[in-house]
Chain A
Amino acid sequence: MSASSPMVEFLLRPRSRSRWDASWAPSTTTRVVLRDVLRSPATRLGVLLLLLLALAATFAPVISSHDPVHLEPARRLLPPSRTHWLGTDDLGRDVFARLVHGARISLLVGLVVSAGSLLIGTIVGLAASSHRGADAVVMRAVDGLMAFPGVLLGIALVIRLGANIVSVLVALTLVYTPLVARLVRTTTLAAQAQPHVEAARALGAGPVRVLTRHVLPTAMSPLLAQWSFIAGLAVLSEASLSFLGASVGADAMTWGSLLRDGQRLLTTAWWIAVPAGLALTTTVLACTLVGDGIRDALDPRGTARLRRHAARSHGRLRSAR
C-alpha cells in the first residue's frame, strides 16, 4: 500500500493532529472533565470531605495538641470536654487525637489500594482481552477470587502474611484487583475488534502502543469512577479488618481499632466508637459521591436520561391531578 493512498491519509490525519496539539489538549480535556464532574453539588461535597480528610491526616499532630499514645490512667474514660474534645479512652488516651491520626491509615489504604488494584487490574484485564489463552486462565482466577467475600479473603491473607501495614495493603489490593480486571476485560474486549484498533495494527503500531493508545482509552471512564469506589471500599474493608484484629496491629491508631475498643465500652463511653464510626461512614460516603459524580460526568447519556425521565414523570403527575 503506497503512502499516498487516501485510506492511509485518512487514517493518519487524526493521529498527526493529536500529536500536534498534544501540548495543550490534555489540559483542556482535564479542565472540561473536572468542570463536568464538579457540576453536581453532591460531588462537590464529596470532594470537600475528602480534602478535609487529607488535611486532617497530614496535619494530625497540629490539629490535636494531645499525644495519641500518651497514657494517663488518672484521666481515664472522661466524657468529651474542652480539653479532651472527644473524651478519653479506658487507658486515658485522648480519643480525638487517635481519631485524627487514624485518618492517616485510612487515607494511605484508600490511595495505595485503589492505585495498586487499578494498575494491576488494568494490566491483567488487558492481557485477558488481547490473548485468548490468557483470558481463560485469568477469568477462572478472577471468578474464583471473587467467590470469596472480600473482607474474609483480606483477613486470611493478612493473618497468613503477618499483621502489618504492608500485608494489609497487599491483601486488599489482591481483593480488589479482580474487580478491575473484569471491568477492563469486558470494556476492552469490544474495542479490540473495532476498526480503529485494526487500522492502528495495520499501520504497524506495536502491541503495547495499540493497547495503551487505542484500546485502553475505551475503558478510561468506567475505570476513573471505579477508582473512587474502590478507595471507599478499601477504607471500609480496612476498618473491618482492624475491627476484627486482623490489621496493622493491636495498638495501632485506626478507626477500626477505635470501634473495636469502643464496642466493649459502648454503654459507658459511647464517645470512643461513635465518632470513629461517623468518620468512617463520612469517608466512604464521600468516595461514593465522587465516584457517582465521575461516572455521571463521563457518561452524559446517564444524567441526560435521568433528567428526561424526571421531566416526563413530572408532566405525568401534573396531568394526573
Chain B
Amino acid sequence: MAEALISIKRVHKEYKVEKGANVNALNGVTLDIEKNEFVCVVGPSGCGKTTLLNIIAGLETFDSGSVSMHGQPIVGPAPERGVIFQQYALFPWMTVRKNIEYGLKFIRKPVQVEQTDASGKKEIVTVMQKFTTEEKRRLSDHYIKMVNLSGFENSFPKALSGGMKQRVAIARGYALNPEVLLMDEPFGALDAQTRAQLQEDLLKTWEKEKKTVFFITHDVDEAVLLASKVVIMSARPGQIKEIVDIDLPYPRTQATKLEEGFIRYKNYVWDTVYKMYLEIPK
C-alpha cells in the first residue's frame, strides 16, 4: 500500500502541569490521512484533538512516535500545511487583501527560463521565483471572490463580522495553496446561520478543489456533514476510539442532514461520543 499523505504513528504527548501531575494528552495515536480526504476529528474537550492538529502543523513537539508527510518527518511549520484557527488570527494592521497576500511572500513558484551555459548551449531550467505584485494581486482577487468578500478588499479586520473574518482566514489559507488544510474548530465561534453557510461554502470548495482537509470540531452534525472520514477521540488519555468512514455521496448540502443515511451516521457517532462523555469522572 502506498504511503499516506500524512502518517501519524504511535504518537505520545504528555503535558506537565503543576508538581508532577502529568496530563496524557495523546496516548499512542496512529492515523493516516490520505490525499483528498476530508477528515473530521470529534471528541470531548481534553481529548487532545487540538494537540494532534498542532503536531501535524509542526507547532508543537511530541514525546515519542512519528509524524510524517510524504514519508518525510514533520519538524516544524511549513506552508504546505495551512492552518485555520478558531480565533481567525488575522493581522489587525493589515487590510483583507494584505492579510491574504502576506503569506505569499514566503512562497516560491517554479518558473521555466532559458539559460545559456558557458559553451553557448541553450537549455531550459526551472528556477523558483517569488510572486510578483501583480500575481499576488490576481491571487488575492481570486480568493476574495471565492469567499464572497468582494468590496471588502481594503477593510481592516476590525470592521468585519466573525463570519467574514473567518472567510478571510479561509481565503488566506487557500491562497497559499497548501497540500493540506488544518482547521481547528474554525466555525466554533460563529452563530448557527453563519456556520451553516460557511459549511456549505467549504463543502463546495472542497468538492471542487479536493484539497485534503483535517478538520477539528466538537459538533457531531458538522463532522458527519463535512467528512469523508470521522475520527472519534476519547479523553484522558487522549486516544483514537474509532474511525468511521462516512459513505454519503458528495455533493452535500444542509439538506443532506435530512437524509436517513446522515441521521444514521450522526446517531452512531453521537452515541459513541456521548457514552465516552458519561464515562469521564466529573
Answer whether A and B are interacting partners.
Answer: no
